[in-house]
Amino acid sequence: MNAPILTVRDLAIDYPRPGKPPFRAVKGVSFDVRENEFFGIVGESGCGKSTLARALCGLQPIASGDAAFAPMPRGAVQMIFQDAVGSLNPRKTIGDALAEVLAVHRLCPADRRDARIATLLDEVGLPPDVAASYPRELSGGQCQRISIARALAMNPRVLIADEPVSALDVSVQARVLNLLADLRARRNLTILLISHDLAVVRTVCDRLIVMHAGEIVERGPARTVFANPTHPYTKTLLAAVPDVAAALRP
């Protein structure tokens, strides 16, 4: 069993409200994520899962508790956002957007950036000529692959994917999820997958937690949770799961 790469203990996250006490969006959650694990954080909109994801990336203040990653280089934790198109600069070509990451973080000499960009595009299943395209010329699935390539440019150890396929149709969801699973194996990545839909995590996640109203209501190996859910909320989520297993390779 791999050692924890992320340890979360009694984590609480508040949102300020003018003239009122802060709203507690995440209420003292605790869990561990192991190295090279595909870990799911599942729940409906408003349950606190995206707030939790943002806090893990340092984008949201923590009210109390602790979230600690194992020692790793700066930039080794990267986030993939739901709105892939909106996360890309519409005035920059894909090549320029990727080159900017490589230049700002000094990841690659200038004379090798084009080759590095081509390698990143190939790694996410896109041809090198996509580098000359603008985001508006690409599909949602292609833009999400670009977002993944941009994260990979930082040579991460952990990817936090916040609803990365919710805006895509089922067949494209399957291909993007399969890509993430392949990258996990090839790069020895740890992936945290945040989703409101249990269907997108049932064949890729090793373990998961289910969140409701800011709390963890169920946790365990994905197969166990799907086969024998114990909390009424989890049972309700499972009852709404469409059968997309056939679209995902084993």
Rounded Cα distance between 52 and 129, Å, is 37
Structure tokens at 23: 């709203």
Q: What are the residues whose beta carbons fall under 8 Å from the beta carbon of 214, sequence distance 6 or more?
A: 24, 25, 26, 27, 29, 47, 48
Q: What average pLDDT does the segment 197-207 reach? A: 86
pLDDT tens by residue, 114-159: 999 999 999 999 999 999 999 999 999 999 999 999 999 999 999 9
Rounded Cα distance between 219 and 229, Å, is 9
In degrees rounded to 5, what are phi and psi of residue 29?
-90, 145
pLDDT tens by residue, 49-94: 999 999 999 999 999 999 999 999 989 999 998 888 888 999 999 9
The answer, yes or no, to whether residue 248 has pLDDT greater than 50, is no
Q: Where are the domains of the chain?
A: 85-155
* pLDDT number for residue 203: 78
| pTM: predicted TM-score of the whole model, two decimal places | 0.92
Q: Would you state the torsion angle of the CA atoms of residues 224, 229, 231, 237, taken in this order, to the nearest 10 degrees? A: 110
Lowest mean pLDDT segment, chosen from 4-13, 84-93, 210-219: 84-93
